[in-house]
Amino acid sequence: MLDSNVKELLIGIVGEGNVNDSSESRLAYSYDATPNFQSLPDAVVMPNSTEEVRKILKVCNDCQIPVVPRGSGTNLCAGTCPTEGGVVLVFNKMNRILEIDEENLTVTVQPGTITQEMIKAVEEKGLFYPPDPSSMKISTIGGNLNENSGGLRGLKYGVTRDYVLGIQVVLPNGNVFRTGGKLAKDVAGYDLTRLFVGSEGTLGVITEATLKLVPMPETKKTMLAIYDDIDAAAKTVSKIIANKVIPATLEFLDHPTLEVVEDFAKIGLPTYAEAVLLIEQDGALEVVERDMEKIMRICEEEHAISVDVAKSDEEAAALCTARRSALSALARMKPTTILEDATVPRSKVAQMVKAVNEIAGKYDVKICTFGHAGDGNLHPTCMTDVRDKDELKRVEKAFEEIFAKAIELGGTITGEHGVGEMKSPYLEWKLGREGIEAMRGLKAAFDPNGIMNPGKMFAKDSRKRVVVGV
Amino acid sequence: MLDSNVKELLIGIVGEGNVNDSSESRLAYSYDATPNFQSLPDAVVMPNSTEEVRKILKVCNDCQIPVVPRGSGTNLCAGTCPTEGGVVLVFNKMNRILEIDEENLTVTVQPGTITQEMIKAVEEKGLFYPPDPSSMKISTIGGNLNENSGGLRGLKYGVTRDYVLGIQVVLPNGNVFRTGGKLAKDVAGYDLTRLFVGSEGTLGVITEATLKLVPMPETKKTMLAIYDDIDAAAKTVSKIIANKVIPATLEFLDHPTLEVVEDFAKIGLPTYAEAVLLIEQDGALEVVERDMEKIMRICEEEHAISVDVAKSDEEAAALCTARRSALSALARMKPTTILEDATVPRSKVAQMVKAVNEIAGKYDVKICTFGHAGDGNLHPTCMTDVRDKDELKRVEKAFEEIFAKAIELGGTITGEHGVGEMKSPYLEWKLGREGIEAMRGLKAAFDPNGIMNPGKMFAKDSRKRVVVGV
């Protein structure tokens, strides 16, 4: 619980209604979308302005109270679990779209803005914000910034980081600064913008962001290619890119995922298939048509059983909605769903999918794989039950081996979900001891007292690698 | 001069032929392309490998000797002038293209690789590396990375930063780590990749980089729009973007630049015009044609005197070469050419160009303006003579006022040239005291002894602003 003096100080800053330390509220903010991580905060605080955030951070820094900035808590890395208690900062009161600038193609928002609401608002002006994390209906822009969220359109359009032109940041010492602006080019100083994007709330608090928009693509087409062989599907992915076609979306679903998603969405997905690719291209009509023809030919060359372009916008939307619902669909199967995002160079997708299946077999656990095959970002997903301690140990071992395999193939332990608490023990596998040391130095420079989202990114102990010679 | 023990240590690392402290060599590396900045280094050292760089940095860190990593020295911010002496690191021996990966669309290079040579090599495979700094014929990738170089295609394609997937870095303490990989998505830890890109050699040394490539655009068209009114040209720029057309290149040249460039290039540029826009679009043929028609209509609506699409590839190439030669052409006019790159939101280009002209008049100095109007990145260029101390003072005052105006309009003091020594006194105008403090903390975390390129980025004294209320 908060010291009563601290509580009074916080109430003095944000007002009585915006500091909540009831047990209900603390319980509600004790976890995020990540299974198996829970820890009670001491209080939930809702700032109304950057100035209030500044004052809160100063109090917490002086009193060495952890601060966990949180959006909607949809992250899958235990990134917003208040691991060491403290104050959860919630941005419900800082959720405004401040400006859509149609001349400079930018939108300026507060961190609490819901991603999809912002996307809708800019689309009404014929503009397009490409990053589309699957959780975008409820996720916030602040959460997207802290996690550098990806999405289905990452292959062609990049991720959140690629659309951030400038931010306002509050540091633990109460310093406030702005980076960038409505500028396509700006090299005035270190790239603090991108340093804070993806820093998982461990360096400071982003209180405002100016994001880049692009013109809305003229048209979009959606295609489903069906395979009776996982390898063939994965090879198609590499071959499309090697043929210099970059689709907007290039998603992979394996057989078990397909079955579960169809059971959930009931849109007639081919549950007999070993794998499907869901492919979208957007842009000018002629280009989209030509690209889709090329892609179709490649799918056929790689022995797809069938390749069909969606006949209507409704059919296309149904396919995408089904894909986006994969996590929800899988989550219905067993009490606990652990979704990972080991990522590899796209030329290694086939090898990685095969390895995941072998590892699942070895440890006798159920893992489905789907994900953004076009950018090598796979989501091996395990259906389990946290109460089954024995199985959970095997699940953990399986994921360790999956991470090791991803690194071995030139990949990474997380493509878009972040490190958080969950993957912190594995980060050293990717960055090495000297990389972690560099990160620790950087963290200490911004947050010397370690109040910002402690327990995340940096592990207390690194895991020993389970695979030799990786 | 280097202490003889240190010299022996360095020779022991790189071999006798790769440590040069002759006065000729020291003189040759005492300056870069920036006028009015010169300082002798103690020695020039050419490493052959990352391991050698690691050992050099350890020696220099232990002995507190400045290290200045340098490519071809084409930067315009005194970014590679050895301001405090020390060792200039030259990468002539680390200039190999290590791999072009056609499946993952990446190229991996050593820092000494000449930009244009790499571009040619990837183009032979039908691939495209968009960043095209005007100096690319002689600049190195290492220099481009350190400065986060831009270019003519920045508007549509972004800058160097947007194409860096992973780097290998050596820190002053001798630690070495790799970031990223051949990965479209990677959120494992802080974005050290982009922190080092654009850090101007002040944090460590980049010894390898994996860069993203894109498919080569199918076709390209070039257009010249002529105006008898600067305002009309600038308005055209905003209107094209606001109409949701993003050209690959959208360059502006004012009347004095035009005269000088024509005198140099002799390709029949309209020297009677007050301003021209050089516009290129690339992509699929149908899209390029449609975009060019749209752009032409907008130019006409905004009262261009004439709008002409280049009739042949040769004509198009001649126009672009002329634009790229602007700096060389201007440099012939007077003994000293100072080229700046104040950058503003593109909606403010007209205001900025007008302000530059007013400021030039006020201080009675000759300033031409050209640049990447599409991304608001202007290059006001002053022709002067460093020996004329009185004029030089007025030039300095004029540029101070130009920087202040850029900031006032929501812009920045440097869009693509970097801060270096030259613009370090103005950096606080953009980032504020608290932003600079954050940067200093970060610098100290990586380079506690301050050996990496000292005198750059951080000014001994910040300039007072010349404009009140900015």
Q: Give the tens place of pLDDT for each residue, B225-269.
A: 999 998 899 999 989 998 999 999 999 999 989 999 999 989 889
Say if A72 is an interface residue toward chain B (CB within 8 Å): no
Give the residue from chain A lying closest to B429, CA to CA: A188
**DSSP state at residue B340:** -
Flag whether A296 is in a domain.
Answer: yes
Give CA–CA dist B264/A265, Å, rounded. Answer: 67
C-alpha to C-alpha distances, A63 to A2, A11, A15, A57, nearest whole angstrom? 11, 15, 19, 10
Q: What is the pLDDT of residues B370-388, one digit of tens each?
A: 999 999 999 999 999 989 9
Q: What is the pLDDT of residues B324-364, one digit of tens each?
A: 888 889 988 899 999 999 999 999 998 999 999 999 999 99
pLDDT at A148 over 90: yes
Give CA–CA dist B318/B315, Å, rounded. Answer: 5
Same domain, B317 and B247: yes
Same domain, A305 and A410: yes
ipTM at complex level? 0.95
Say if A290 is an interface residue toward chain B (CB within 8 Å): yes
Same domain, A245 and A125: no
Flag whether B392 is in a domain.
Answer: yes
What mean pLDDT is predicted for residues A253-260?
92
pLDDT of residue A464: 56
The label of the residue with tokens 């202007």 reads B378
Select the more confidently predicted residue: A424 or B333.
A424
Same domain, B186 and B102: yes
Query: B462: pLDDT confidence band, cut at 50, 70 and 90?
Result: low
CATH number of the domain encompassing residue B389: 3.30.70.2740
Give the residue from chain A lying closest to B159, CA to CA: A185
pLDDT at B467 over 90: no
HSE value, Cβ hemisphere, 13 Å, CA-based, for A366 = 14
Per the CB < 8 A criterion, the answer to whether A305 and A228 are in contact is yes
Closest Cβ opposite residue B189 in set A147, A283, A419: A419
Amino acid at site A64: Q
Same domain, B107 and B205: yes
pLDDT of residue B217: 95
Closest Cβ opposite residue A411 in set B183, B194, B418: B183
pLDDT at A470 over 70: no
pLDDT at A462 over 70: no
pLDDT at B468 over 50: no
Flag whether B50 is in a domain.
Answer: no
Domain boundary among B283, B299, B325: B325
Q: Helix (H, G, I), strand (E, B), or coil: what is residue A293?
A: helix
Phi, then psi, of A122 in degrees rounded to 5: -75, -30
Element (H, E) at B20: strand B19-20
pLDDT at A324 over 90: no
CATH number of the domain encompassing residue A325: 3.40.462.10
What mean pLDDT is predicted for residues A391-406?
95
Flag whether A317 is in a domain.
Answer: yes
Give CA–CA dist A151/A341, Å, rounded. Answer: 12
Give the residue from chain A lying closest to B374, CA to CA: A184
Give CA–CA dist B279/B282, Å, rounded. Answer: 10
**Quick check: A194 and B191 CB within 8 A?**
yes
Same domain, A126 and A110: yes
Domain boundary among A215, A246, A265: A215
Q: How far is B346 from chain A (nearest CA, A)?
A: 6
pLDDT at A41 over 70: yes
Kindly list the residues from chain B whose CB atom is less than 8 angstroms away from the CB atom of residue A159: 185
Say if A245 is an interface residue toward chain B (CB within 8 Å): yes
What mean pLDDT is predicted for residues A438-445?
98
Q: What is the pLDDT of residues B275-290, one digit of tens each?
A: 999 999 999 999 999 9
**Quick check: A179 and B238 CB within 8 A?**
no
Per the CB < 8 A criterion, the answer to whether B258 and B269 are in contact is yes
Average pLDDT value over all residues in chain B:
94
Closest Cβ opposite residue B184 in set A103, A154, A188: A154
Same domain, B294 and B380: no
Q: What is the pLDDT of residues B92-106, one digit of tens each?
A: 999 999 999 999 999
Query: A466: pLDDT confidence band, cut at 50, 70 and 90?
Result: very low
pLDDT at A393 over 70: yes
Query: A463: pLDDT confidence band, cut at 50, 70 and 90?
Result: low
CATH number of the domain encompassing residue B235: 3.30.70.2190
Same domain, B316 and B241: yes
Flag whether B7 is in a domain.
Answer: no
- Domain count for chain A, please give it: 2
Flag whether A7 is in a domain.
Answer: no
The closest alpha carbon to B6, from B19, B25, B23, belongs to: B19
The label of the residue with tokens 């160009």 reads B353
pLDDT at A370 over 80: yes
Same domain, B200 and B240: no
Give CA–CA dist A373/A366, Å, rounded. Answer: 20
Q: Residues 437-456, chain B: which have Cβ within 8 Å of A?
A: 437-439, 441-442, 444-446
CATH number of the domain encompassing residue A207: 3.30.465.10
Same domain, B278 and B336: no
The closest alpha carbon to A430, from B192, B189, B210, B382, belongs to: B189
Kindly list the residues from chain A whose CB atom is less than 8 angstroms away from the CB atom of residue B148: 187, 191
Domain boundary among A215, A233, A251: A215
Q: Helix (H, G, I), strand (E, B), or coil: what is residue B164?
A: strand
- What percent of chain B has a predicted confidence (pLDDT) above 90? 88
Flag whether B426 is in a domain.
Answer: no
The closest alpha carbon to B353, from B338, B331, B368, belongs to: B368
Same domain, B104 and B207: yes
Kindly list the residues from chain A whose CB atom is less than 8 angstroms away from the CB atom of residue B347: 101, 103-104, 182
Q: How far is A48 from chain B (nearest CA, A)?
A: 22
Amino acid at site A205: V
- For residue B389, count other CB atoms closer than 10 A to its CB: 8
What mean pLDDT is predicted for residues B68-81?
97
What mean pLDDT is predicted for residues B423-447?
97
Ranges of H-type helices in B129-191: 141-147, 154-157
pLDDT of residue B444: 98
What mean pLDDT is predicted for residues A206-228?
96
Same domain, B244 and B285: yes
Query: A325: pLDDT confidence band, cut at 50, 70 and 90?
Result: confident
The closest alpha carbon to A144, from A111, A169, A117, belongs to: A111
Which tokens is A6 given? Answer: 């601290």
Per the CB < 8 A criterion, the answer to whether A125 and A105 are in contact is no
pLDDT of residue B328: 87
Residues spanned by the domain of B108: 98-215
pLDDT of residue B325: 86
The strand pair at A43-45 and A87-90 is best described as parallel
Flag whether B286 is in a domain.
Answer: yes
pLDDT of residue A460: 79
Kindly list the residues from chain B whose CB atom is less than 8 angstroms away from the CB atom of residue A183: 343-345, 375-376, 410-412, 415
- For residue A305, count other CB atoms closer than 10 A to its CB: 17
Q: Helix (H, G, I), strand (E, B), or coil: what is residue A57?
A: helix
Average pLDDT value over all residues in chain A:
94
Element (H, E) at B8: helix B4-14
pLDDT at A467 over 80: no
pLDDT at B417 over 70: yes
Q: Residues 21-60, chain B: which have Cβ within 8 Å of A?
A: none
Q: Residues 397-416, chain A: which have Cβ within 8 Å of B?
A: 410-416
pLDDT of residue B469: 33
pLDDT of residue A468: 34
Q: How far is B1 from chain A (nearest CA, A)?
A: 31
Per the CB < 8 A criterion, the answer to whether A216 and A123 are in contact is yes
